[in-house]
Structure 1
Amino acid sequence: MKAIILYYSKTGNTEKLAKRIQADLHCDMLKVEPEDPYGNYVSSLVRVNKERKNKVPVHSVTPVPDLSAYDTVFIGYPIWYMDPPEFLSDFLSKCSLEGKVVIPFATCGLANVGKTLNTIKEVCPKSKIAHPFNYGIAKKDNYDEWVRSFKQMK
Structure 2
Amino acid sequence: MTLTAFISRRQALQRSFLLPIVAGVSFAATSAEPTAAGRSATVLVAYFTRTGNTRLIATQVARALDATLFQIVPAAAYPEDYEAQVAQAEDERQRGYEPPLQAMVPDLDSYETVFLGFPIWGMTAPSVIRSFLSQHDLSGKTLVPFITHGGYGLGNSLAVIAEHAPDARLIDGFSKQCDQERETLREVTRWLESVEIGR
TM-score w.r.t. structure 1 length?
Answer: 0.82
Compute the displacement of 1:28 (Å): 0.4
5+ unaligned residues in a row in structure 2: which ranges?
2-41, 180-199
Q: Decide whether aligned partners of structure 1 residues 55 and 114 sit closer, same or farther in structure 2, where only a CA change above 3 A counts.
A: closer
Tell me if structure 2 keeps the 8 A contact 1:59–1:88: no
Q: Which moved more, 1:125-134 or 1:108-117?
A: 108-117
Q: Decide whether aligned partners of structure 1 residues 54 and 99 sit closer, same or farther in structure 2, where only a CA change above 3 A counts.
A: closer
Quote the residue 1:147 is aligned against.
Answer: none
Alignment RMSD (CA, Å):
1.7
Quote the residue 1:37 is aligned against.
Answer: 77
> How many residues are treated as equivalent by the alignment?
138
The Cα offsets for residues 28-84 of structure 1, whole Å up to 9 and x where unpaired, read as 010010121112222111111122234444221222432211110000001111211
Compute the displacement of 1:114 (Å): 6.3
Structure 2: distance between partners of 1:82 and 1:11:
17
Quote the residue 1:9 is aligned against.
Answer: 49
Q: Decide whether aligned partners of structure 1 residues 114 and 83 sit closer, same or farther in structure 2, where only a CA change above 3 A counts.
A: closer
TM-score w.r.t. structure 2 length?
Answer: 0.64
What code does the residue aligned with 2:44 have? I
Quote the residue 2:62 is aligned against.
Answer: 22
Quote the residue 1:143 is aligned against.
Answer: none
* Higher relative contact order (Cα pairs below 8 Å, separated by 6+ residues): 1
Identity of aligned residues (%): 31
Tell me if structure 2 keeps the 8 A contact 1:5–1:28: yes
Quote the residue 1:142 is aligned against.
Answer: none
**In the alignment, structure 1 residue 47 sits paired with structure 2 residue 88:** yes
Compute the displacement of 1:120 (Å): 0.1
5+ unaligned residues in a row in structure 1: which ranges?
139-154
